[in-house]
Structure 1
Amino acid sequence: MARCLSFTAARDRCYDRSFSAAGLRPTATVLGDGGTVHCWAPKSPNPARPPLLLIHGFGANAKWQWAGYLRPLLRSGFDLYVPDLLFFGGSEAPGPDRSEVYQARCLTAAMEALGVRRFGVVGNSYGGFVAYRMAAIFPEAVEKVVLLAAGVCVEERDLAAGLFVVSNVAEAASILLPQRPDKLRQLVRLSFCNPPRVMPSCCIWDYIQVGWQNLVV
């Protein structure tokens, strides 16, 4: 019954319809190691439109991160490819490797399996680290790369200056993978320039329990 009344589940279904209405279809590419990359891809790829890969950030998935950007990017003339990173959303992997290098290799393999051998990449936050690795490892595949809010050049002095103040890894994990409403509010305050003023605890609990049920870290 709780799932039927879930705001998060209802919104997720709306995102499914939005992606489909935007001309995208869900695909699943099985990798050599047994992993699977879930990716929204064009129903009818157009060779005249440059392919653009959108990589979401940590804790999100493809639909929740990029739904609001589909129409503007499509109007700009791109063929969009919107994957879930491994261990997020509908993508999964059997091994223990959690590195951005592994993510980069898997996404590049998925794009090749979809018949796309050269493309632009936009990476947000953690997705920016993956995009950076893709461009470095596969220059023949990545034509252009755009990094959004990705600290690929962050140095220790930046952390010391208060960019992300945590005392240990456990504290960082409690913020990046919040399991309580107060921690998710803290993450939003750190991540958003204009965070929402009101975040009801009931909605936050629903998002944590339903929205992150497939997250594997």
Structure 2
Amino acid sequence: MPRARWLSVTAARDRCYRRSFTSAGLRPAFFPLTDGATVHIWVPASPAPSSRPALVLLHGFGARATWQWSPFLRPLIRAGFDLYVPDLLFFGDSSSPAAERSDTYQARSVMEALTLAGLDHFGMVGISYGGFVAYQMAAMYPNSVDKLVMVSAGVCLEESDLEAGLFGVSDVAEAARLLVPQQPDDVRQLVKLTFCKPPFVMPTCFIRDYIQVMCTENVKEKTELLYALINGRKLAELPKINQETLIVWGYQDKVFPLELCHRLKRHLGDNSRQVVVKNAGHAINLEKPKELCNIIKQYFVDDSFKTYERYNGHCHEGKWRDCMRRFASSSTKKIDSGRPLL
């Protein structure tokens, strides 16, 4: 690694996140696919007996998987899960020579890699873009995906919603500029959109460092992923999955407004439940990691989860914490959870 990279705050933080994965008992593994793609997955270093359920965690747009899932590892492992955490194609250490950019292609690639890793059925959690991929996997592989948690994943959006002003951006080009940022002002605007309470100070030197380390690879491919995701998208063409699904949303989400949460609930009907977290924006996993982790644990472990679905899915933070304390046997360690990606 070049000397300059060792002096980078972002690179140092990236190494810390990787160490948190290895110290939690995971190891990096690479799975070559039949079309020449390679999917990188963090897998259990010492796989437990088959009685432990497998849980697959899919990240959203932004940095690699380690940056978005680090605070969740130890609590979920202590709750009894074997974790599998992929880098989606064109993120982190996953790559592909193929020209296809659809979420269907991502789903097919992740499923092939998980099969190579020895999984035949598992639960899934998908954040934002990862939720789009998880939803496609649930539709394409109903015998493999057992239950699903969709976090801030606007799969019910339509391309026409952008023109109607439902989102904080007006078109796909503006979304790509923010989600694949190349300038400090783009990062600042992105953080304001994704966080309920963005930081007051974001030094330009740190933002430039973050962009240089995390945002300069696969810019073209990531931009194409966004165009493929949104262009021509229609709710009428979205398949209806049959797995039990939990929809988790931040009440102040400015990227995918709350209307998309209710739209997905209506689309899925009785097979779905929803939880809306107060004082949280789009980046719930970064703003509210402990609350989200407890929600995930309880949904997969406790059949009485439905008793906590209050106020038409609106869980007020204090009351949610009270009921969660009775379930959570251990605390979740936050790693820079109150900060943005920088």
Pick the aligned partner of 2:11 from 9, 15, 30: 9
The 5-angstrom pairing of residues 69-88 of structure 1 reads 69-88=72-91
| 1:49-90 Cα shifts (integer Å, max 9, x gaps) | 110000000122110111111122112211100010001100
| Structure 1 position 210 matched with structure 2 position 213 | yes
Q: Is the 8 A contact 1:90 1:214 kept in 2?
A: no
Aligned-partner SS, 1:111: helix
Give the distance between the partners of 2:28 and 2:61, measured in 1 at CA: 21
Task: State the AA in 2 paired with 1:28.
Answer: F
- Residue identity in the other structure for 1:6: S
Q: Distance in 1 between matches of 2:40 and 2:141?
A: 21
Give ranges in structure 1 of 5+ residues lacking alignment: none
Q: Counterpart of 1:109 in structure 2: which amino acid?
A: E
Greater share of residues in helix: 2
For residue 140 of structure 2, what is the aligned residue in structure 1?
137
Q: What residue is the counterpart of 1:150 in the other structure?
A: 153
Q: CA deviation at 1:215?
A: 3.2
1:78-110 Cα distance to aligned partner (Å, 9 max, x none): 110001000110000001111100000011111
Structure of greater Rg: 2
| Paired residue type of 2:134 | A
The aligned counterpart of 1:164 is: 168
Alignment correspondent of 2:31: 29
The aligned length equals 216
Normalised by the length of structure 1, the TM-score is 0.94
Corresponding residue for residue 68 of structure 1 = 71
Q: Distance in 2 between matches of 1:173 and 1:211?
A: 15
Deviations 1:146-193 (A, max 9, x none): 110000112467542432332x43322211111111111111111122
Q: Give the structure-2-normalised TM-score.
A: 0.61
Of the candidates 103, 115, 128, which is equivalent to residue 118 of structure 2? Answer: 115
User: Could you tell me which of 151, 175, 178 is aligned with 1:175?
Assistant: 178
Tell me whether 192-201 or 7-16 shows the greater mean CA deviation: 192-201
- Rounded to whole Å, the distance in 2 between the matches of 1:215 and 1:7 is 21
